[in-house]
């Protein structure tokens, strides 16, 4: 088995203290990921149930995500300064530094979603069915799977997440003309349709961040940079 | 990260306040997609990304080459068939746990191994395509072309700084054409000249540890070798003296082929173009230093450099 494909999670450092520091980083990332998933679930629920209170409460929770981001950055900085990690440890730490930025952004996008939900709730008749819940579900599944892939060090699963971004993009591409046509035929729905269009956009962005996480996982596990559809030959280890 | 600028801006300008919320109307599909997985992306863009390193293993010009090299002390074989190229005018680091044979290996590269009673070698070591173990080759001549610097600075204690620099030349019976010039040139190469030019007659041992080590490097360079072997040259030095020697290595690789044995992984990562990992007398992995320290292919390399060994 090659070093890159092996299970990195189960190999222990000779220095237990170092092992603990890495474990701590991993645990904080898992907590942050869980919080972000909760935020997204709540945001979608607030939309589906026209629940402005839930939306407002969710907006208030965002600071927890921000705090975790700062905390994890600090932990990673400590590991870099004190341990000079290399190989899989280095990839884990650098991937984590980037991953928390994506998670924090997803948190912000959930806040944006909730703000639009609060506005929509002034008009209690907006439709809660249709393409939006479908995009939301697909994006949330991507987020969930990308975090699972991170925890398990599963590059195959991460690749599947990356593939699925196209599905969300396609949903969004459908949503846009649908809402525009709707607005043109009925000016009274312009207010709510613009809000719904924004929500669609936020969700599409969340899927992009989940894709980023998937790419980071592939890098972390295999040492290959798959961003921007870069050809794999570009960073073949023997090249 | 793969935020493209437009989507990043559109996010940042996405207001959190209700009254100035503006949906991204009119954004085309392409513009709204922050990441293009499409095959229509211009090829030039992906190919212009810088490579991680300029030279690959398959492209190196070897100055030296070990071919199925074995080395023993009596009946104990410590090098068990290593084949390794040494890239010309680049730095090759050899890393590995104590007893893996790294010091023995480099001592085979200039026939220093055989001076130990009972020590034997088998296999080839090519220097410019010629086997240095060939019967017709004079080991003293080999050591002139392949110089060595040791772990502990070892200036000759009874000699002045000046005589230390010239010691190698004298011991090899080389006629000194321009001793003052040779001393100055060698000391300048190791950036020691300005520090010692006014006290060349003082004992070499009067210098600090870092200066002594640079003096020893100057002594090796005075012979104008083609290859410089360094056996843990910084392990007895403080961080500043270490930084000086590393800086020196960067400069020396312009003119010399360097092989460095080090226990300090970060040092290998800093100074070497190529890194070889030895374990139990065998070569486990050899690659560009960037690859070894970011994505080694062998589990044993990974375990060793990350500190997960035994």
Out of A86, A202, A235, the one facing B306 most closely (by C-beta) is A86
CB contact under 8 A, B23 and A1: no
Over range A164-177, report the average pLDDT.
93
How many angstroms away from the CA of B220 is the closest CA of chain A? 32
Percent over 90 (pLDDT), chain A: 79
pLDDT tens, residue by residue, B35-58: 434 444 444 444 443 333 556 788
Query: Which chain A residues are within 8 Å of B1, Cβ to Cβ?
Result: 98, 101-102, 212
Kind of pairing between the strands at B91-95 and B257-261: parallel
pLDDT for position B41: 42
Mutate to test the interface with A, among B302, B304, B310 (most CBs of A within 10 A): B302
Predicted local distance difference test score (pLDDT) of residue A229: 67
Nearest to B253 by CA among B88, B107, B121: B88
If you average pLDDT over residues A215-223, what whole number do you get? 95
| Contact residues, chain A, for B309 at CB < 8 Å | 14
Per-residue pLDDT at A70: 97
Pull the structure tokens for residue A230: 């870069």
Closest by alpha carbon to B260, among B241, B239, B281, B242? B242
Q: Is the pLDDT of residue B281 over 80?
A: yes
Q: Min CA distance, B117 vs chain A (Å)?
A: 37
Mean pLDDT, chain B, whole residue set: 83
**pLDDT tens per residue, range A28-53:** 999 999 999 999 999 999 999 999 99
For residue B260, name the pLDDT band (cuts at 50, 70, 90): very high
Largest CA distance in chain B: 91
CB-CB under 8 Å, B25 with A237? no
Mean pLDDT across the stretch B25-44? 41
- Band of pLDDT at residue B148, cut at 50, 70 and 90: very high
Q: What is the pLDDT of residues B65-90, one digit of tens each?
A: 999 999 999 999 999 999 999 999 99
Cβ–Cβ contacts within 10 Å for residue B258, how many?
A: 25
> Which DSSP letter does residue A141 get?
H
pLDDT in tens, A90-124: 999 999 999 999 999 999 999 999 999 999 998 77
CB B91 within 8 A of CB B271: yes
Residues of A in contact with B29 (CB under 8 A): 169, 173, 176
Mean pLDDT, residues A218-223 taken together: 94
Of B81, B157, B73, residue with least CA distance to B117: B73
Distance (Å, whole) CA B150 – CA B260: 10
Please indicate whether, in this complex, the C-beta atoms of B307 and A90 are within 8 angstroms of each other.
Answer: no
Task: State the nearest Cα–Cα gap between A50 and chain B, in angstroms.
Answer: 16
Nearest residue of B to residue A216, measured between CA atoms: B1
Higher local confidence (pLDDT), B202 or B54: B202
pLDDT at B15 over 90: no
B237 confidence band (pLDDT: 50, 70, 90): confident
Residue A239 CA to residue B52 CA, distance in Å, equals 9
Specify the pLDDT at position B175: 86
Interface with chain B: mutation pick from A12, A14, A87, highest number of B CBs within 10 Å: A87
Contacts of B45 in chain A (CB under 8 A): 228
Residues B49, A237: C-beta atoms closer than 8 Å: no
Contacts of A211 (CB under 8 A, 6+ apart): A142, A146, A161, A162, A165, B35
Q: What would the pLDDT profile of A226-236 be if each residue is shown by its tens digit? A: 888 654 444 44
The number of beta carbons lying within 10 Å of the beta carbon of residue B233 is 28
> Mean per-residue pLDDT for B223-232?
94
pTM equals 0.77
User: Nearest CA of chain B to the CA of A132: how many Å?
Assistant: 15
Mean pLDDT of chain A: 90
Please list, in sequence order, all residues whose beta carbon lies within 8 angstroms of the beta carbon of residue B108, skipping any fewer than 6 positions away: B66, B69, B71, B79, B121, B125
Which of chain A's residues have a Cβ under 8 Å away from the Cβ of B266?
A: 84
Contacts of A222 in chain B (CB under 8 A): 295
Pick the range with the lowest mean pLDDT from B8-12, B154-158, B178-182.
Answer: B8-12
Q: What is the pLDDT of residue A130?
A: 84
Q: Give the whole-angstrom CA distance, residue B106 versus residue B64.
A: 11
How far is the C-alpha of A165 from the C-alpha of B206, rounded, in Å?
68
Q: Which residues of chain B lie closer than 8 angstroms to A88, CB-CB?
A: 302, 306
The answer to whether B244 and B191 have CB atoms below 8 angstroms apart is yes
Q: What is the pLDDT of residue A225?
A: 86
Cβ of B35 within 8 Å of Cβ of A101? The answer is no
B34–A208: do the CB atoms touch at under 8 Å? yes
Banded model confidence at residue A79, pLDDT cuts 50, 70, 90: very high
Q: What percent of chain B has pLDDT over 90?
A: 65
Unique residue bearing structure tokens 């984590």: A96
A14–B305: do the CB atoms touch at under 8 Å? no
Q: Which residue of A has its CA nearest to B288?
A: A238
Instruction: Quote the Cα angle for B91-B97-B102, to 5°.
Output: 45
Sort out which chain B residues have CB atoms less than 8 A from A98's CB and list them.
Answer: 1
Burial of B208 (0-12, 13-18, 19+ CB in 10 A): middle
How far apart CA B124 and CA B147 sit, in angstroms, is 19
CA distance B202 to A170: 80
Lookup: tokens for B3: 């935020």
């Amino acid at each position: 088995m090659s070093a890159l494909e092996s299970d990195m999670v189960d190999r222990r450092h000779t220095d237990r203290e170092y092992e603990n520091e890495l474990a701590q980083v991993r645990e904080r990332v898992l907590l942050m990921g869980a919080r972000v998933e909760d935020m997204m679930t709540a945001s979608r629920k607030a939309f589906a149930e026209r629940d402005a209170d839930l939306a407002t409460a969710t907006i208030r929770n965002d600071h927890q995500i921000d705090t975790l981001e700062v905390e994890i950055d600090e932990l990673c900085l400590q590991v870099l300064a004190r341990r000079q990690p290399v190989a899989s440890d280095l990839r884990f730490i650098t991937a984590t530094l980037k991953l928390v930025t994506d998670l924090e952004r997803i948190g912000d996008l959930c806040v944006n979603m909730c703000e639009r939900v609060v506005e929509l709730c002034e008009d209690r008749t907006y439709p809660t069915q249709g393409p939006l819940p479908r995009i939301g579900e697909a994006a949330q599944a991507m987020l969930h799977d990308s975090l699972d892939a991170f925890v398990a060090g599963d590059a195959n699963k991460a690749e599947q997440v990356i593939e699925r971004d196209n599905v969300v993009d396609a949903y969004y591409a459908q949503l846009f003309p649908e809402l525009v046509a709707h607005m043109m035929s009925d000016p009274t729905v312009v207010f709510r349709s613009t809000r719904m269009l924004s929500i669609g956009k936020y969700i599409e962005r969340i899927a992009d961040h989940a894709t980023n996480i998937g790419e980071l996982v592939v890098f972390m596990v295999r040492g290959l940079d798959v961003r921007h559809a870069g050809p794999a030959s570009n960073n073949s280890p023997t090249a | 990260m793969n935020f493209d600028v437009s989507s990043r801006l559109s996010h940042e300008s996405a207001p959190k306040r209700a009254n100035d919320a503006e949906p991204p109307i009119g954004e085309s599909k392409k513009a709204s997609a922050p990441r293009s997985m499409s095959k229509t992306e211009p090829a030039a863009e992906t190919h212009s990304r810088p490579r991680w390193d300029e030279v690959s293993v398959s492209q190196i010009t070897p100055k030296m080459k070990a071919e199925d090299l074995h080395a023993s002390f009596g009946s104990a074989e410590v090098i068990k068939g290593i084949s390794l190229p040494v890239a010309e005018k680049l730095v090759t680091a050899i890393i590995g746990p104590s007893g893996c044979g790294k010091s023995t290996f480099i001592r085979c590269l200039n026939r220093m191994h055989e001076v130990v009673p009972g020590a034997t070698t088998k296999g080839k070591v090519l220097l410019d395509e010629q086997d240095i173990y060939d019967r017709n080759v004079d080991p003293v001549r080999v050591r002139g072309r392949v110089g060595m610097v040791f772990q502990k600075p070892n200036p000759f204690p009874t000699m002045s700084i000046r005589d230390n620099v010239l010691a190698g030349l004298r011991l090899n019976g080389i006629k000194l054409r321009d001793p003052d010039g040779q001393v100055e040139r060698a000391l300048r190469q190791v950036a020691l000249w300005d520090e010692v030019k006014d006290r060349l007659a003082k004992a070499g041992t009067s210098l600090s540890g870092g200066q002594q080590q640079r003096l020893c490097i100057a002594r090796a360079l005075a012979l104008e070798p083609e290859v410089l072997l360094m056996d843990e040259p910084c392990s007895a030095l403080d961080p500043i003296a270490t930084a000086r020697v590393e800086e020196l290595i960067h400069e020396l690789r312009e003119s010399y082929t360097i092989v460095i044995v080090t226990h300090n992984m970060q040092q290998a990562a800093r100074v070497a173009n190529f890194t070889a990992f030895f374990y139990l007398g065998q070569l486990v992995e050899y690659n560009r230093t960037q690859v070894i320290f970011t994505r080694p292919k062998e589990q044993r390399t990974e375990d060793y450099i990350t500190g997960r060994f035994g």
